Amino acid sequence: MSVHTDRSAVTVLGLGPMGRALAGAFLDAGLRTTVWNRTPGRDGELVARGAAAASSAEEAVAAAPLTVVCVVNYDASDAVLRQDAVTAALKGRTVVNLSADTPGRARDTAEWAGRHGIRYLDGAIMTPTPTIGTDDAVLLLSGPEELYREHRPVLAALGGSHTHLGEEIGRAAAYDIALLDVFWTAMAGYAHALAVARAEGVTATELAPFAQGIGAILPPLFAEFAADADAGTYSGELNPITSSASTMAHIVHASEAHGIDASVMRVIEGQARRVIALGHGADGFTRVAEVLARR
């Protein structure tokens, strides 16, 4: 079997924490794994476990029919993939880009790949490195269904759930952006909460169990809000946005009294006040999503 069609071979470009986790999972699954990273010296442990170290990106991509890219963003993946020798070596092979970036960058990369006869899937990893190769990994993919099916057996080595979101190449990045939006704004709220609590003499450890309780409220609320937003009801029966805006103002006042920057909460309060000013004060917080989407 030629390397070109060898379904037990895979290449990983990018050996940051996530790239190393991906390569490790491929090795654990018994796949012939070739690795490359811009800065040398990141492949030691993988090579000790049986990976082949390529001396250049073009040598790496030539070693397998499937190349998985996992670098910081698409400026970085462009810097690697769009070198003439790498692009030429990729002709007829498949690239799965698991780096994070915007849907627009995914579409641009697919267009570039199409022009160069490179088969292309885009993807996003939604869970941290320790989940890779376990049941807890969550991967989202988009692009040609047939190509996804073809490489599904190799990608399965990464573990967990894999969801093919459809042929529209920007779809995985669209989900990624939306889900990271949830994550980072929640984390920003937590960082701010820790600062305000500390100013009030409450340690992070003291607050943590109660913060976990707040976190546990969110999953059912996400489902409830989704149904409410899709139905366009924005129900405020149990908690009108006028009441929510009032509690947001308390947070702003308490943190600014300690000289702590409350700009994130000020933005959220401002959005709630805008909803009220537009005449939707009896609605629930989900109305913000509708108002934000207005052009």
Residue 53, helix vs strand vs coil: strand
Quick check: 55 binds ligand NDP (CB under 6 A)? Answer: no
Is residue 19 within the footprint of ligand NDP (CB under 6 A)?
A: yes
103: contact with ligand NDP by CB under 6 A: no
Q: Given the rule CB under 6 A, which of 4-12, 35-43, 184-192, 267-275 is the region that contacts ligand NDP?
A: 35-43
Which segments of the chain does DSSP mark as H helices, in order? Answer: 17-28, 44-48, 57-62, 74-81, 84-90, 103-115, 145-155, 171-199, 204-231, 241-257, 263-275, 287-293
**Beta carbon nearer to ligand NDP, 14 or 284:** 14
The amino acid sitting at 90 is L
Sheet with 138-142, edge to edge strand ranges: 52-53, 32-36, 9-13, 66-69, 94-97, 119-125, 138-142, 161-164
Site for ligand NDP in 217-256 (CB under 6 A): none
- 16: alpha, beta or left, given left = phi > 0 and alpha = psi -120 to 50? beta
Tell which positions 136-195 bind ligand NDP, by CB under 6 A: none
Nearest-angstrom CA–CA distance, 20 and 26: 10
Among 71, 172, 196, 241, binds ligand NDP (CB under 6 A): 71
The reply to whether 80 sits near ligand NDP by the rule CB under 6 A is yes
Identify the bridge partners of residue 69 per DSSP, sorted by sequence position: 13, 97
100 binds ligand NDP (CB under 6 A): yes
C-beta closer to ligand NDP: residue 132 or 248: 132
Give the C-alpha separation, 148 to 140, whole Å. 11
| Contact call for residue 131 and ligand NDP (CB under 6 A) | no
**For residue 98, what are the contacts with CB-CB under 8 A and spacing of at least 6?**
18, 22, 68, 69, 70, 123, 124, 125, 139
**Which range touches ligand NDP (CB under 6 A), out of 64-72, 149-157, 222-230, 270-278?**
64-72
Please count the residues of this chain forming the interface with ligand NDP, following the rule CB under 6 A. Answer: 22
Distance CA 127, CA 133 (A): 11
- Using CB under 6 A as the binding rule, whether residue 123 contacts ligand NDP is answered as no
CB 155, min distance to ligand NDP, A: 15
Among 33, 97, 99, 286, binds ligand NDP (CB under 6 A): 99
Which of 3, 79, 227, 278 touches ligand NDP by CB under 6 A?
Answer: 79
Q: Which is nearer to ligand NDP, 47 or 231 (CB)?
A: 47
Adjacent-strand bridge partners of 120: 95
The residues that touch ligand NDP, with contacts defined as CB under 6 A, are 14-19, 37-39, 42, 70-73, 76, 79-80, 99-100, 125, 128-129
